[in-house]
Amino acid sequence: MIRKILLLLVLLAGTGLTAQDVMTPKLLWKLGRVSLEDVSADGKSFLYGVTRYRIDSNNAQRDLYLLSTEGGEPQRLTNLDGRVSGAQFLGNKVGYTYQGQFYQINRDGTGRKALTDIEGGISGAKAYPQKNGSITILFTKKFKTRRNTQDLYPGLPKAEVRIIDDLMYRHWDQWDDYKSSHLCLARYGDQPVENFQDLMENEPYDTPVPPFGGPAAYTLSPDGRYVVYESKKLTGREFSEQTNSQLYLVDLQTGQTELLTEDLEGYDKQPHFSPDGEKLAFLSMATNGYESDVNDLLIMDMETREVRRVLREAGRYDELTFHALAWKDQDELIAGVPYRGSNQLFRVDLSQKSADLEQITSGPHNYNHFEYHNGSLLVNRQDMNHANEVYRVDLKRGEAHQLTTVNNDIYSSLNKSRVESRTIRTSDGKEMQTWVIYPPNFDPEKKYPTLLYCQGGPQAMVSQFYSFRWNFQLMAAQGYIVVAPNRRGLPGFGRQWNEAISGDWGGQAMEDYLSAIDALAQEPYVDKENLGCVGASYGGYSVYMLAGIHEGRFSSFISHCGLFNLESWYLATEEMWFANKDLGGPFWEEDNRETYERFDPKEYVDNWDTPMLVFHGGRDYRVPENQGMEAFNAAQLQDVPSKFVYFPNEGHWILSPQNGLIWHDQFFKWLDKWLR
């Protein structure tokens, strides 16, 4: 027995883990980040990627694995410097993108062969084997479509200046590069492809719609004749003020392009042909300029162009919204739905006159990206105690079976948090779902400092997500109770609840936050003398706002990339549709004056008297750096204890490992200083 115990201690020492460990920032960065890629046509195997970050070199490697849908030992297919992406089955082989070209390998990882050799590289490749043995490859490629300074002044090649006469000169974290991302098509026979067809030739537009779109923005029909892609064919100020992306169909035989969604006003995205090619499913928002509108599932008959609106047919438009879809057969789809604090899977039956929706999965988990083939439904699943792993879901019973175990060794050695869903009564008498995350080995006889987490978006549900920065497991592991309310203005609780935030940023949502922390403060194990408030983006705005109206509740605030001065923010941000929808429009218009006066954090800054930590990124053009600087300066000039942590090369998020470790170090040092 003694020898067995000694052996166990040696093994634990070798992994750097003990049975009493809790999550730490360094351990968080050691986790393999798992993502499902594709399921084979016979439904018997699947591909997934694992990204591992290297702290010393401050970069990452992403490799590809193959595994049976029944489980077992995975087959590692790649071991390459950098990241492999876009993996998919190509019959009995596997394809993927690496360093700007598309490759093919055998299912045992051997026989690597380049299918493309395209100058300048490609991205977002999707390959479709054809009956004649060829492979049709869709991909995107950047083309220069606008004149830059060197074009205007060719004799001054070292000049460093931008000459700007329209909006959208920068977006999220990048300045305009004078190029457009076009959808292209190539056909592989037996030699690497060098030539291709630009399906958007000479157009100054993009697909996918920047900045976050991916290969889900385009698809090929089962017969190989038609391509459908998403694009927002606007530029400059028009682009900045509208969300009206459209779907376009290209007939590869005639070369003609047809606008499919001319009568639809908002975002139209994620086109998917049915298995027989007779229908096109896609997600669509009804309102132009409203990026958080209900995502309805639309089904277009490709012969008549008639459209069915699934949520409206099913009588659930005011209740649900979609975020993903996949065809099961020509009369049934599987859809991802944000639902009451988690992401779940639903079945969509089109066989009846009115579409019918049935929930497949349930429980405190997020079922995110999924793939379906021949009876096998596989999905990325996560919760507040576990990062993504791939699960197989039983379509009849909704039960989930874990297939990948990339992080099991780490999690099995951790004391985890208890996650509780509470219903809290708001100030206006509504019921609000709130997550409460308790420290490992929670003792109700003790008192714990407690954090109110303010969600960003503003319309992004507090679900069972596993963030690698705003990680509730990590916060709780440092001895903090975390209170994370699904306050007014979030999806998953009906359209009315979601829309309540627009035009009321600093109103009922702030009351919801205070209701949540006040309710938890009544618990004997909450140290009401040591309450903190943290958040990013709109959550960072909420921190600044609450700092001026909290009436002594909190002992510390932390804001990351928050909006502090709505007037200066309005004139420095880039996506004007967002500001116009949520704030009503410019501050100089009389109808909007009340919004800017009542809901602008700077208007309450004279009430600030509580320590404030401010994070901001220099490449955040969504919420530009002046917002963090103004907030920090306001605190400093009023002798409020404060600190400004500035990342010059990060955007709205912290993406590099070493910066991430510093972020967490500063975050917890600040909390420990003011809440202990």
Can you tell me which residue has the tokens 């995205």? 269
CA–CA dist 498, 488 (Å, integer): 7
d(CA 612, CA 618): 19
Query: What distance in Å separates the CA atoms of residue 458 and residue 489, rounded to the nearest whole number?
Result: 7
For the question of residue 620 being annotated catalytic, the response is yes
Measure the CA angle with vertex 83, ends 402 and 46; round to 5°.
Answer: 30
CA distances from 501 to 47, 425, 588 (A): 40, 18, 21
Question: From the candidates 386, 550, 616, 652, which is the catalytic residue?
Answer: 652
Nearest-CA neighbor of 103 among 261, 118, 509? Answer: 118
Helix (H), strand (E) at residue 121: none
Q: Cβ of 277: how many Cβ atoms within 10 Å?
A: 16
> d(Cα 665, Cα 430) in Å, to the nearest integer?
38
Taking the chain, what is the end-to-end CA distance rounded to the nearest angstrom?
A: 42
Answer whether 573's CB lies under 8 Å from 600's CB.
Answer: no
State the CB neighbour count (10 A cutoff) for residue 210: 15
Q: Is 550 in the active site?
A: no
| Angle made by CA atoms 651, 655, 661, in degrees to the nearest 5 | 115
Residues in Cβ contact with 405 at an 8 Å cutoff, skipping those fewer than 6 apart: 389
Determine whether 652 is an active site residue: yes
CB 501 within 8 A of CB 511: no
Asked if residue 492 lies in contact with residue 465, where contact means CB atoms within 8 angstroms, the answer is no
**Among the listed residues 549, 568, 551, 539, the one whose alpha carbon sits nearest the alpha carbon of residue 633:** 568
Q: Residue 607 is encoded by which pair of tokens?
A: 């009430």
What residues does 98 pair with on adjacent strands? 84, 101
Helices 508-521 and 538-549, packing angle to 10 deg: 70
**Contacts of 297-306 spanning 24+ positions with Cβ under 8 A:** 297/322, 297/325, 297/333, 297/335, 297/348, 298/264, 298/268, 299/350, 300/260, 302/273, 302/277, 302/278, 303/278, 305/260
Helical spans, DSSP H, in 440-574? 472-477, 495-499, 508-521, 538-549, 566-570
The label of the residue with tokens 């509580």 reads: 610
Q: How far apart are CA 486 and CA 430, in angstroms?
A: 12
> Can you count the helices (H) and strands (E) in the chain?
15, 38
Locate 388 and state its tokens. Answer: 């993504």
**Which of 248, 211, 218, 253 is closest to 233 using CA atoms?**
248
Q: How far apart (Å, rounded) are the C-alpha atoms in residues 206 and 168?
A: 13
Catalytic residue among 38, 206, 268, 620: 620
Question: Measuring CA to CA, how many Å separate 156 from each of 152, 160, 165, 524?
Answer: 9, 9, 20, 70
Annotated active-site residue in 240, 342, 537, 556: 537
Whole-angstrom distance, CA of residue 123 vs CA of residue 145: 18
**514, two tokens:** 């205070």
Catalytic residues: 537, 620, 652
